[in-house]
Structure 1
Amino acid sequence: MHKKRLIDGWQHYTGGLGGVWEVWRADKLNNHYNVPWHQVQLPHSYNGLDVMDPDSTYYQGEGWYRTRLSLQNPYPEGRTLLHFEGAGQKTDVYVYTEKIASHLGGYDEFTVDITEAAAGNQLERYEGQVPLAICCNNSRDLETIPSDANDFHAYGGVYRYLNLVYVPAVSIEDMHIAAQCHGLAEGGEKGSLDVQLSLYAPQFANENIAIDIIVKAPDQNIAASVHWEGKQWEGMKSIAQIELDEIMRWSTEQPRLYEVEVRLASQYGETARTVRTGFRTFEFVKKGPFLLNGERLLLQGTHRHEDFAGVGPAMTEAMITEEMRVIKEMGVNFIRLGHYQQSRIVLELCDELGILVWEEIPWSRGGLGGEGYRQQCIDMLRAMITQHRNHPSVILWGLGNENDWECDFDYFDQEDIRRFMKRLHDLSHEIDPTRKTVIRRCDFCKDIVDVYSPSIWAGWYRGIYTDYENSCKQAADEVNSFFHAEWGADNVARRHVEEPYTGFQMIDSGGGSTDERDGDYLLTGGEPRVSRDGDWSETYFCDMIDWYLSAQQRMDWMTGAAQWAFKDFATPVRPDSPIPYLNMKGVVERDLTKKEAYYVFQSYWSKRLMARIYGHSMSVRYGQEGQARTVKVYSNAATVELFCNGVSLGKRNRNSEDFPAAGLRWEVNFQPGENVLKAVAERDGQIVSDELSFVYQTESWGKPVQLQLEIERVSADRHVVYVKAYDEHGVFCPVAANFIRFSAAGDGKLIDNLGTVGGSRLVQLASGRASIAVEPGGAPGAYIPVEHFFTAGGPAITAREQDTRKQLRTTIVSAACEGMETAFVTIKEQL
């Protein structure tokens, strides 16, 4: 098999066409014919930026891709395939104007055979190249999943890798390796591998084939080899049962992987495929904890959406690898992939890093549609399981999410949903009897699945975070296997407060009612709740996490929990967030910039010694002179010593029952102006330290009424503009949270629509500050006369500046806020 990623050489057009001929007719007419194609690389989504546009909803419709392939299949009578790792949401594939295939579903893999079509379309004008067109369509259709009521986007585009694959006329289509542990025996623990194959040979039958199987242990030594000869077959067939002595188990601490290589030879050539697998056992103890390889493991989890600043879901392998590395370094041993089948790269990394997986299909909210809707659910469940069942990291197949949330149809039949959920449950066990089924938040189906997660949002959507432990215990008593998926709070990166939200007296916490209900995510209406009435600060978020993690350590019966979600992510249902259209519950920003919460998790979960003084992005602390302020250090060390301005404030011993910060906190009197804090942490003779500086402001402030801008040049082609809010006396307002709108005119452009606090043109102030990146030469077009872009009321322009305008790149950046005078700053770059 020869495989190549098709990354370069693509052109894209966002919009509908009159038909596929319109993709190519400009070639015949020798002009562009008004279709503005532009160069792109795959993976690519045409919603990479518009999902975070604060002034409009994201585009849903057709997006076209075209390229010309130079095919050189090395196999006589070989097959030429296109292997899509994922494209959204409906995909049509054309060779020239001939439709070769269609696929429904934005998240599973599919393969298209273009052998005959490519051979028949070697047109003269393309000089032997094969014209390939792909139409993706993410238009809304109530009879498809996912629902547009979901808290995530249905992205469009070829947003995972597309591969050109050459195989012989007889090749391996699919490969399943079932690994089983057989327990201890003389000489070590034994295990077995059941090697199952299906073949791809659309034009040939009953051919003689030879198969060689080589098994490599985690140390890369050959553990077994098998030779098989016979006739080809149809369907999936077990061709070898391989017994192994002294197997090495896969675990979250030691993710040992075996490699199984299968080489198939026939008169048409040889091909090979390699699958990695692992030996492990797991159990959800009835009414009890989770066991991995017979030992209790508290599942310490988070969630992942396929979403990233600037590209949406179109993440490269390097980007995915970095994200998963940062997740693992937080101390995670479990992840829920919400709410759809994700890239094979993610699963491979979970295998390598030792992260257990819950993966699910996108039957999420909306209700239950007709036969086509149900068939898509079935098809996507079957695809997810068959495509990812070789991964030892996977333990749970998710059948749905929030299926009690009705909105897409004028009917809602709980019994019908129960029957269909049971159908999916049975199908999952039929395809893969080795894993468990799971759903989240659909109480009327919780008796159907193997593992259930209710909705518990203590301290955010309902109740207060001190309700957490009781809420979990009550929910666990109602099911055989309880897991807590989704908990957390929205938090604006770089927003800090000296006194986090404490208005708990206004919130009903009676009876342990902490389940999220429809509409609780809205910022208006309904009952009092922290999500509506709180400060959305990192400070509150860290306190909540601290309480939850401490409680989870005490709950020796608990299987585990997963915080929602690792990254801030784009969503169509939150236009009124501090960054519009952003779910801000991440412990990192949408570009992986770490928030303070990341280190709270590390202090409980990470094995590597660490220490973090809270507030690295809190450049100004405030209070009265002589007023004690709390300093928190998050660390997994036994002892931490704090220094302020070089003076030791004493040591504290870590105690996870001493909230907050596990007892690692000090009440400190800061000096007005500059202060420096240093923490020195020690454990078993190892020492780490952390240091930060800030200004302590003792001046009181009033209502913010003015803005001030500053410029910092961060690279040859990028500046950052900072805005700060001040009151009428020029005193900085460190708790200002007004919405700020940035705009630019001239030669440059804002680097915005990224969904980060430093990459959004409409954003709430975080602790009185906001920023935006600017590319001075990034605006399209040529020279623009100064009078066209200098706003009335802006800075004065001298005659000399106008005379030299053609030798400068000049950009005017403004920051505006309702009730305040607009502020301007000029960026000038010599050409």
Structure 2
Amino acid sequence: MYLLRSGIIYLLVLLLTVHQSFSQEKIRLINNWEFVRQDLGGIWEAVRPVGKGNPESVPLWEKVSMPHCFNSEDAVDPDVNYYQGPGWYRTLIDVKNPYNEGRVLLHFEGAGQKTEVYIYTTKVGSHTGGYDEWSVDITKAAEDFKRTEVCRKQFGGKVPLIIRCDNSRDLEMIPSDLSDFTIYGGLYRYLNLLYVPALSVDKVFATPETDAAGKAGHLTVRARFYNPANVVAAKAELRLLDPSGKRVAVKTVQLDDLKGDVQLWDLRIKEPLLWSPSKPVLYTLQTVITFAGGTFSKSEKIGFRNFEFVEKGPFLLNGQRLLLRGTHRHEDHAGVGQAMTEDMIRTEMKMMKDMGVNFIRLGHYQQSRIVLDLCDSLGIMVWEEIPWCRGGLGGEVYKEQARRMLTNMIEQHYNHPAVIIWGLGNENDWPGDFPEFDKEKIRTFMKELNDRSQRLDPLRKTAIRRCDFCSDIVDVYSPSIWAGWYRGVYTEYKQVSLDEFNKVKRLLHVEWGGDSHARRHSENPDNALNKIKRGGGADERAGDASLYGGAARVSKDGDWSESYICNLIDWHLKEQETMPWLSGSAYWPFKDFATPVRPDNPVPYVNQKGVVERDFTKKEAYYVFQSYWTEKPMVHIYGHSWPVRWGGEGEEKMIKVYSNCDEAELILNGKSMGIKKRNSQDFPAAGLRWSLPFVTGENVVKVAALKGREKVEDMLRFVYQTAKWGKAAKMSLKKIAEEDGMATVEVSLLDSNDVQCLDSTNWVRFSLAGDGKMVDNRGTSSGARSVQAYNGRAMIKVRLNKGKSVAGVTSEGLPAAFLKLGE
């Protein structure tokens, strides 16, 4: 009897599992794609059998996998403008819909920037806007094609899916090409094949609320149905599960009107568990729809929290003041452009959380649902915005795209507890795309977007950054404050911020910081501040981002060293601890990213303001943030990428230690240099700094830090050079590492006496001949064939391919250098 009962239970569980798996099937279309980066003469060129019996057929398609970006490398190629134009993708899909009268959908998580979709030669859908999600119903087109002889004979019963993406320049499309980021093309987010029954849920809108104390919770739920078969009646069962999976409440609703947004639930909850960055607890809302043709289920994660931007005051979360400690994210990565995989995204977001981030602005467009899901689960609050960025205001086509993208952003990401702000625009005071720049027309449209946002979601706030003549329209405003970079000096940060705070109802400071060329360091990083005019504000103005002309500014006249940026960040963070009225800030950005408007930067076409490089390599600034923003004990000696320091014999040099510990002991060359206590207001390095003489040659520095009873340590070695150098006269090229068939090649710039020129910033250009392949176009300090030297050196990697190669390097005015590899 026991075995029989167990067998019956197993069978029931199996049947339930099978039933639920058919509630919605999602298949990521990752492999077996072909791509061509050009336009075609017509759709027929995409579906005819290429190369079969015709070796001269064109175009030549390449095999790719998804996600995929047109501009994975050329966005940071120093010698070309990145490609802007059409590209075509094709694959075969095996359409096997498990539902009678079900629907087959293609769900795009994002594609840039204009997209057309074909089943064989039939156009089934199109979309304009590179950053929102959208779907195409291919049911009829796929069924019709499967009945053809062509399907059976030429494609073996499978269905040709062809997609044309286009990122061509278009003034009547947002974002503007004046924007300081690459407007990528391609299927750069995941594409999914969905099977759904005849009636399914398109969207669920869950609105969880609490009072400020978190004692009383309230949940309302609406749903929007996808019902092309015009099903007239259904039953909805809603279940709310707490973070442990325990059922909190259940509701059953009979539905006889499935049009529009249907109200499903109004639930009161006593003392719900509250979502916060320190405890990002998530409830699960399950919606199960049953109708004559079958069942559909949808699951959403939601969170209960209460937040407030106090007028003329700070930010409150669940009734308590919380300083928003933020950064920014562009969808951009070395070697793939915008086509970041889920693993890459997860790595990036985890690195942010480990740095101490509790807030992020997604600049300057809505981003992948994967990002939003991770913000929910990691506890990172979000400002998400539409890509109305720079250039002015276009016509009705332009405005309709902005309206549509705002609606899509809010509706698609409505349920994420992490989201607290909907951004309506960025730098809308920046003209250039149109002959007319009318501030009143921009204000009128900004008011329209603000009204739309508050109508669609009255509980979240609206915001913009840097458009002073619209600052009164939105709930929260961020002016331009770049103290110590584009204007002014960083010690003016607090006063400038207070002046701006007094002008608006609610201020949140997003975008601050400055560029740093990874691996470049300085013994005197603040020298440029002596040239800078003080008291003239700290905003960015026309021409300030240029490396040429205009008033003295650190962005043009500074050394772009990591040493300087660490000081700037250190000052900002220690000041923010003494600004009780500040709601928070967001450093710009977390990671370096590609941009077409900065060809002359030390890594060409890269905005280098990140605290990590495009390949996740941490810069020193990462640890400055950790020392202020994290609880887990950490300690880091400044200079892990600074192999050679310099100065006079016996000259005292500063060693800085970044740590969140109470105290630290420094040991230099085996001798204790004493214990220092951490004091966040003791600049720089919160008092954890030592001025000491080094020995000529190798030095070893160790530090041991204590937080309570927990001890953490760090160590580094460097060479101290006392020999003076003259002008760079020659270069030396050598292999400094090799692992798994990958060699690292380094060039050193030397004077006529073979002394390394440690302040050299010469441009160098690497080349390679032979069997190997140079790993360039990565947009990093060690992954660019044309790059400015950092402290008289530069590196690049070479994939040897089990063969022989010759690496070369040139620099204007210097003899070329060469190195044989693979021997």
Indicate whether the TM-score tops 0.5: yes
CA displacement at 1:238 relative to structure 2: 1.0
Contact 2:218/2:267 (CA < 8 Å) preserved in 1?
yes
The letter for the 1-side match of 2:33 is W
Alignment of 1:553-564 (within 5 A): 553-564=577-588
Q: 1:811 to 1:28 in 2, by over 3 A?
A: closer
Q: Hey, what's the Cα distance between the residues in 2 that align with 1:78 and 1:753?
A: 46
Give CA deviations for 1:420-463 in whole Å, capped at 9, x if unaligned. Answer: 00000000000000100000000000011100000011100000
CA displacement at 1:713 relative to structure 2: 4.6
CA displacement at 1:198 relative to structure 2: 1.0
Residue 353 of structure 1 corresponds to 378
Alignment of 1:147-158 (within 5 A): 147-158=176-187
Q: Hey, what's the Cα distance between the residues in 2 that align with 1:167 and 1:618?
A: 57
Equivalent of 1:9 in 5, 29, 32: 32
Q: Hey, what's the Cα distance between the residues in 2 that align with 1:61 and 1:343?
A: 23
Residue 320 of structure 2 corresponds to 295
CA displacement at 1:190 relative to structure 2: 3.0
Alignment of 1:261-660 (within 5 A): 261-511=286-536, 513-660=537-684
1:126 corresponds to 2:152 = no
Residue 26 of structure 1 corresponds to 49
Q: Show structure 2 runs of 5+ residues with no match.
A: 1-23
The letter for the 2-side match of 1:528 is A
How big is the alpha-carbon RMSD for the aligned residues of Structure 1 and Structure 2? 1.2
Contact 1:612/1:690 (CA < 8 Å) preserved in 2?
yes
Alignment of 1:46-61 (within 5 A): 46-61=70-85
The letter for the 1-side match of 2:772 is G
The letter for the 2-side match of 1:152 is F
The letter for the 2-side match of 1:178 is T
Residue 818 of structure 2 corresponds to 824
CA displacement at 1:26 relative to structure 2: 3.3
Give CA deviations for 1:92-115 in whole Å, capped at 9, x if unaligned. Answer: 000001110110000000000000
Equivalent of 1:772 in 791, 796, 805: 796
Q: Hey, what's the Cα distance between the residues in 2 that align with 1:223 and 1:705?
A: 75
1:97 corresponds to 2:121 = yes
1:107 corresponds to 2:131 = yes
Contact 2:212/2:318 (CA < 8 Å) preserved in 1?
no
Residue 112 of structure 2 corresponds to 88
1:366 partner SS: coil
The letter for the 2-side match of 1:203 is A
Q: Hey, what's the Cα distance between the residues in 2 that align with 1:25 and 1:319?
A: 36
Contact 1:262/1:272 (CA < 8 Å) preserved in 2?
yes
Give CA deviations for 1:383-435 in whole Å, capped at 9, x if unaligned. Answer: 00000110000001100000000000011000000000000000000000010
Equivalent of 1:143 in 172, 180, 202: 172
1:403 partner SS: coil
Contact 1:183/1:191 (CA < 8 Å) preserved in 2?
no
Equivalent of 1:242 in 257, 267, 276: 267
The letter for the 2-side match of 1:650 is G
CA displacement at 1:775 relative to structure 2: 1.2
CA displacement at 1:216 relative to structure 2: 1.0
The letter for the 1-side match of 2:158 is Q
1:809 corresponds to 2:791 = no
Contact 2:212/2:306 (CA < 8 Å) preserved in 1?
no
Q: 1:503 to 1:757 in 2, by over 3 A?
A: closer
Give CA deviations for 1:682-729 in whole Å, capped at 9, x if unaligned. Answer: 121111111001011111111111111111453333111111111100
Tell me the number of residue pairs that the alignment of Structure 1 and Structure 2 aligns. Answer: 794
2:95 partner SS: coil
Deviates more, 1:417-426 or 1:239-248: 239-248
Residue 194 of structure 1 corresponds to 220
Q: Hey, what's the Cα distance between the residues in 2 that align with 1:21 and 1:242?
A: 55
Residue 719 of structure 1 corresponds to 743
Q: Hey, what's the Cα distance between the residues in 2 that align with 1:136 and 1:248?
A: 44
Q: Hey, what's the Cα distance between the residues in 1 that align with 2:798 and 2:539?
A: 43
Runs of at least 4 residues of structure 1 off by over 6 A? Answer: none
2:546 partner SS: coil
Residue 173 of structure 1 corresponds to 202
Contact 1:358/1:395 (CA < 8 Å) preserved in 2?
yes
Q: Hey, what's the Cα distance between the residues in 1 that align with 2:822 and 2:663?
A: 51
The letter for the 2-side match of 1:544 is L
The letter for the 2-side match of 1:217 is D
Contact 2:211/2:306 (CA < 8 Å) preserved in 1?
no
Equivalent of 1:164 in 193, 203, 207: 193
CA displacement at 1:228 relative to structure 2: 2.1
CA displacement at 1:267 relative to structure 2: 2.2
Residue 802 of structure 1 corresponds to none
The letter for the 2-side match of 1:45 is C
The letter for the 1-side match of 2:42 is G
1:383 partner SS: helix
CA displacement at 1:182 relative to structure 2: 4.4
CA displacement at 1:776 relative to structure 2: 1.8
1:26 partner SS: coil
CA displacement at 1:232 relative to structure 2: 4.5
Give CA deviations for 1:135-179 in whole Å, capped at 9, x if unaligned. Answer: 000000001100000000110000000000000011111111110
CA displacement at 1:507 relative to structure 2: 1.6
Contact 1:87/1:157 (CA < 8 Å) preserved in 2?
yes
Contact 1:199/1:232 (CA < 8 Å) preserved in 2?
no
Q: Hey, what's the Cα distance between the residues in 2 that align with 1:711 and 1:775?
A: 12
Residue 691 of structure 2 corresponds to 667
Deviates more, 1:29-38 or 1:317-326: 29-38
Contact 1:627/1:669 (CA < 8 Å) preserved in 2?
yes
Give CA deviations for 1:757-801 in whole Å, capped at 9, x if unaligned. Answer: 111100011111111111122xxxxxxxxxxxxxxxxxxxxxxxx
Q: Hey, what's the Cα distance between the residues in 1 that align with 2:535 and 2:230?
A: 70
Q: Hey, what's the Cα distance between the residues in 2 that align with 1:634 and 1:581?
A: 31
Residue 800 of structure 1 corresponds to none
The letter for the 2-side match of 1:202 is P
Q: Hey, what's the Cα distance between the residues in 2 that align with 1:679 and 1:28?
A: 64
Residue 797 of structure 1 corresponds to none
Deviates more, 1:500-509 or 1:405-414: 500-509
Q: 1:489 to 1:182 in 2, by over 3 A?
A: closer
Q: Hey, what's the Cα distance between the residues in 1 that align with 2:293 and 2:63?
A: 38
The letter for the 1-side match of 2:484 is G
Give CA deviations for 1:526-584 in whole Å, capped at 9, x if unaligned. Answer: 11100000000000000000000011110000000110010010000000000110000
Q: Hey, what's the Cα distance between the residues in 1 that align with 2:211 and 2:354?
A: 33
Q: Show structure 1 runs of 5+ residues with no match.
A: 778-807
The letter for the 2-side match of 1:199 is F
Deviates more, 1:175-184 or 1:373-382: 175-184
1:809 partner SS: coil
Q: Hey, what's the Cα distance between the residues in 1 that align with 2:798 and 2:196?
A: 48
Deviates more, 1:499-508 or 1:811-820: 499-508
Q: Hey, what's the Cα distance between the residues in 1 that align with 2:97 and 2:49?
A: 29
Q: Hey, what's the Cα distance between the residues in 2 that align with 1:108 and 1:694?
A: 48
Equivalent of 1:77 in 101, 114, 134: 101
Residue 706 of structure 1 corresponds to 730
The letter for the 1-side match of 2:136 is V
The letter for the 2-side match of 1:25 is R
Q: Hey, what's the Cα distance between the residues in 2 that align with 1:55 and 1:583?
A: 17
After TM superposition, the score normalised by the length of structure 1 is 0.94
Residue 746 of structure 1 corresponds to 770
Contact 2:212/2:319 (CA < 8 Å) preserved in 1?
no
Contact 1:205/1:232 (CA < 8 Å) preserved in 2?
no
CA displacement at 1:27 relative to structure 2: 5.0
CA displacement at 1:30 relative to structure 2: 4.5
Q: 1:82 to 1:451 in 2, by over 3 A?
A: same
After TM superposition, the score normalised by the length of structure 2 is 0.95
